Chain A
Amino acid sequence: MAKVYVSSVINVPAAEVWRVVRDFNALPKWTPFVADSLIEQNMRADQIGCVRNFRLKDGGLIRERLLAMSDYDLSYTYSILESPMGVENYVASLTLTPVTDGNVTFAEWQAEFDCAPERESALVRQIGVNVFQAAFDSLKERLER
């Protein structure tokens, strides 16, 4: 089981960050690598079990199912149904925690998955750096200005 953990500090209040990332269909709005996204079967984007179907700017198609969401904990969890990455049993969580000192946000994004052993370190780096951290960076850029 491979694990990825990325965390950052976003210098705006957690409620503000949550308003942006809570929308499970909003990846094109706040990540640099998603071209477009739709929620399958006309479900709501905050309906547990809904599937987001999005296209990366490099052309790859990914389908992810929302497994849990909490407006109390500012957190949601999802799994990958289909992707070009060659991962299995992929489950990820995005969690925001208010930092009272300065009223900013501690943001964590973590994933666990299975893959071919020789690909593990490359995938961990790819997901950690090019997906999670890159998304946090663009979120910071968008919100902190």
Chain B
Amino acid sequence: MSAMVKVRQSTIIDAPVADVWRILRNFNGHDRWHPAIVASAIEGIVPADAVGSVRRLRLSDGSELREQLLSLSDERLLLTYCLLDGPLPLIDYVASIRVKRVTDGDRTFWEWHCEFKPPADRRDELVRLVTEDIYQNGFAAIRQLLRRVSSSPAVESRPSASPASSSGPLNERSSPRSVARSRAIIVSHYGGPEVLELKEIVLPQLAWGEVRIRHTAIGVNFIDVYCRNGSFNLLKPPAAPGMEAAGVIEAIGDGVTDFKIGDRVAYACLPVGAYSERRNMSPELMVSLSSDISDETAAATLLKGVTASFLLHDVHAVKPSEIVLIHAAAGGVGQLLTQWARQLGATVIGVVSSDDKAHIVDRLGAHHVIVRSGENFAEAAIRMTNGVGVNVVYDAVGRETFEESVAALAVRGHLVSFGQASGTIGERDVNRLTSKSATLSLPNYVHYTDSPDKLEPHIVRFFSALRKGLIQVQPPKKYDLANAADAHRDLESRRTTGPLILTV
């Protein structure tokens, strides 16, 4: 039988509370300072400050443990977490880390507290281990780290000589310690386009390894609609949607080595938050823009281009002899798929919802165009292929087209369902796929792009195709950031063809 023990350790750190909190609050950064932790990784596609995130820690003795973030408060400067599993019998271990400002001398009070049930015969050993090896050694490491940081001149004198950063208000904001304000489109609760409201927010100080980017152009994608209306749980209100933007780096936090102030960059990745003038984020998945790619082009095409790249090369590697059917072929991704599949040598059948869109897809080089409202596209596709059917269907329409898409497939065909503009595909009888040995793929953007290794080839391939003119992009339709709701209305009404961007 084991009784609950409590361990409470506290110290005073001779550094401002904001500096200490910035380091401690990063649930996935404790390996950067704690001597007992060799590596830290968050499980799944979850930001480190999402309550519920699970970190996997590897210790210096090679053992591993998993801990879950239970609460995080930037207001109370408090985080709590629990141990899920690990090498030691710290049963029901729940810990909290709390800091407070010592106004007298601008220092920090830091308390580390936990409760757990040890086996009775190991009680003293485990209490000592937590007290000394984890907490007291952690205190010493942070004290050492902040001493080193504050005595290192390199931290405050980052390069800022680039022409892009020497004009305008950038220089005033170039310190990672400075507070920046940003206008942002905030979704306070899930709903229609009307929930996209412009607000003014204050950005926190840059965390370790983060940069602050000032956006110039922001991509509007259908995934933003799913985030806004709650179909996808990538956005937890209140928060700004948006996964794609281009801009300029205006401040860099400690530990950033790959980018400097003034760099032109673009990104198409989580976490959401691109619908804003400026934001802080990890630059891990950012790409530097060369001078021949404009901010607007990057913001309008990066996410769609990367999507088209992995759909045509990874999810289904399109071969020259294949017949490819593309739904919503006049849409953002559809236009890229249509041009690119043709460049790859495939025979392309574009499916659209109106005659106007049919003209666009025709001009993009589709071999056949089907107007969906006018005819049964599966029958048409079977007819066009002399009864054989198509090798692959790229379907972002979802509910409305699923059954017919299956019907349009050839034997050993592949249905790639990568969007749900008409609703989710819902429950389906997959037995029908066996009659053709068909394959169904439900690719998720994140799983193909969530590390530099996965993302890089698609970026290179897409920008190269753009430069060579293999694919061409319509000039984006522009909306002011404040009018993001109009952009969503237009996108959802399917009135638009080609890309939409918000400008700042």
Evaluate contact between A106 and B12: CB separation under 8 angstroms: yes
Interface centre among B9, B10, B111, B139 (most CB of A within 10 A): B10
A133 at the interface (CB under 8 A from B): yes
Evaluate contact between B102 and A5: CB separation under 8 angstroms: no
In order of increasing CB-CB distance, the 4 nearest A-B pairs are A101-B11, A8-B104, A106-B109, A99-B10
Known: A7-B109, A9-B12, A106-B12. A101 touches B104 (CB 8 A): no
**How far is B104's CA from A6's CA once the two chains are assembled, in angstroms?**
7
**How far is B102's CA from A8's CA once the two chains are assembled, in angstroms?**
5
Evaluate contact between B139 and A106: CB separation under 8 angstroms: no
Q: Given the complex, which residues of A lie within 8 Å of B136, measured CB to CB?
A: 101
Instruction: Count chain A residues whose beta carbon lies closer than 8 angstroms to a beta carbon of B.
Output: 17
Nearest CB in chain A: distance from B137 CB, A: 12
A97 at the interface (CB under 8 A from B): yes
- Per-residue contact bits, chain B 342-353, to A (CB 8 Å; 1 contact, 0 not): 000000000000
Evaluate contact between B8 and A100: CB separation under 8 angstroms: yes
B103 at the interface (CB under 8 A from A): yes
Evaluate contact between B11 and A100: CB separation under 8 angstroms: yes
Q: How many A-B residue pairs have CB under 8 A?
A: 52
Known: A9-B104, A106-B102, A108-B100. A101 touches B109 (CB 8 A): no
Evaluate contact between B10 and A97: CB separation under 8 angstroms: yes
Q: Given the complex, which residues of A lie within 8 Å of B11, measured CB to CB?
A: 99-102
Evaluate contact between B10 and A106: CB separation under 8 angstroms: yes
Instruction: Count chain B residues whose beta carbon lies closer than 8 angstroms to a beta carbon of A.
Output: 16
**How far is B102's CA from A49's CA once the two chains are assembled, in angstroms?**
30
Q: Given the complex, which residues of A lie within 8 Å of B10, measured CB to CB?
A: 97-101, 106
- Per-residue contact bits, chain B 98-120, to A (CB 8 Å; 1 contact, 0 not): 00111111010101000000000
Evaluate contact between B111 and A9: CB separation under 8 angstroms: no
Q: Contacts A98-B10, A101-B139 given; 10 further ones with Cβ under 8 A?
A: A5-B101, A7-B100, A8-B103, A9-B102, A100-B9, A101-B10, A102-B12, A106-B100, A106-B109, A133-B104
Evaluate contact between B139 and A9: CB separation under 8 angstroms: no
Evaluate contact between A101 and B103: CB separation under 8 angstroms: no
Contact of B102 among A7, A98, A101 (CB under 8 A): A7
Q: Given the complex, which residues of A lie within 8 Å of B105, measured CB to CB?
A: 8-9
Nearest CB in chain A: distance from B407 CB, A: 67
- Per-residue contact bits, chain A 100-114, to B (CB 8 Å; 1 contact, 0 not): 111010101000000
Evaluate contact between B12 and A99: CB separation under 8 angstroms: yes
Q: Given the complex, which residues of A lie within 8 Å of B12, measured CB to CB?
A: 9, 99, 101-102, 104, 106
A interface, by DSSP: helix, strand, loop or mixed?
A: strand
Evaluate contact between B8 and A7: CB separation under 8 angstroms: no
User: Residue of A at shortest CB range from B8?
Assistant: A100
Q: Given the complex, which residues of B lie within 8 Å of A100, measured CB to CB?
A: 8-11
**How far is B107's CA from A6's CA once the two chains are assembled, in angstroms?**
12
**How far is B12's CA from A133's CA once the two chains are assembled, in angstroms?**
18
Nearest CB in chain B: distance from A23 CB, A: 23
Interface residue ranges, A against B (CB under 8 Å): 5-9, 97-102, 104, 106, 108, 128, 133, 136
Evaluate contact between B107 and A9: CB separation under 8 angstroms: yes
Interface centre among B8, B11, B103 (most CB of A within 10 A): B103
**How far is B102's CA from A5's CA once the two chains are assembled, in angstroms?**
9
Known: A9-B107, A106-B109. A101 touches B100 (CB 8 A): no
24 A-B residue pairings within 8 Å (CB atoms) = A5-B103, A6-B103, A6-B104, A7-B101, A7-B103, A8-B102, A8-B105, A9-B105, A9-B109, A98-B8, A98-B10, A100-B8, A100-B10, A101-B10, A101-B11, A101-B136, A101-B139, A102-B12, A106-B12, A106-B100, A106-B102, A106-B109, A133-B103, A136-B104
Nearest CB in chain B: distance from A74 CB, A: 13
**How far is B139's CA from A106's CA once the two chains are assembled, in angstroms?**
16
**How far is B111's CA from A97's CA once the two chains are assembled, in angstroms?**
10
**How far is B12's CA from A106's CA once the two chains are assembled, in angstroms?**
9
**How far is B10's CA from A133's CA once the two chains are assembled, in angstroms?**
22
User: Residue of A at shortest CB range from B9?
Assistant: A100
Nearest CB in chain A: distance from B8 CB, A: 7
Q: Given the complex, which residues of A lie within 8 Å of B139, measured CB to CB?
A: 101
Q: Given the complex, which residues of B lie within 8 Å of A104, measured CB to CB?
A: 12
Q: Given the complex, which residues of A lie within 8 Å of B103, measured CB to CB?
A: 5-8, 128, 133
Q: Given the complex, which residues of A lie within 8 Å of B111, measured CB to CB?
A: 97
Q: Given the complex, which residues of B lie within 8 Å of A128, measured CB to CB?
A: 103
**How far is B103's CA from A128's CA once the two chains are assembled, in angstroms?**
10
Nearest CB in chain B: distance from A143 CB, A: 15
**How far is B12's CA from A101's CA once the two chains are assembled, in angstroms?**
8
Interface residues of B in 1-26 (CB under 8 A from A): 8-12
**How far is B100's CA from A102's CA once the two chains are assembled, in angstroms?**
18
Interface residues of B in 103-145 (CB under 8 A from A): 103-105, 107, 109, 111, 136, 139
User: Residue of A at shortest CB range from B140?
Assistant: A101
Q: Given the complex, which residues of A lie within 8 Å of B107, measured CB to CB?
A: 9
Nearest CB in chain B: distance from A102 CB, A: 8
Q: Given the complex, which residues of B lie within 8 Å of A5, measured CB to CB?
A: 101, 103
Nearest CB in chain B: distance from A105 CB, A: 10
Q: Given the complex, which residues of A lie within 8 Å of B109, measured CB to CB?
A: 7, 9, 97, 99, 106
Q: Given the complex, which residues of B lie within 8 Å of A108, measured CB to CB?
A: 100
Q: Given the complex, which residues of B lie within 8 Å of A9, measured CB to CB?
A: 12, 102, 104-105, 107, 109
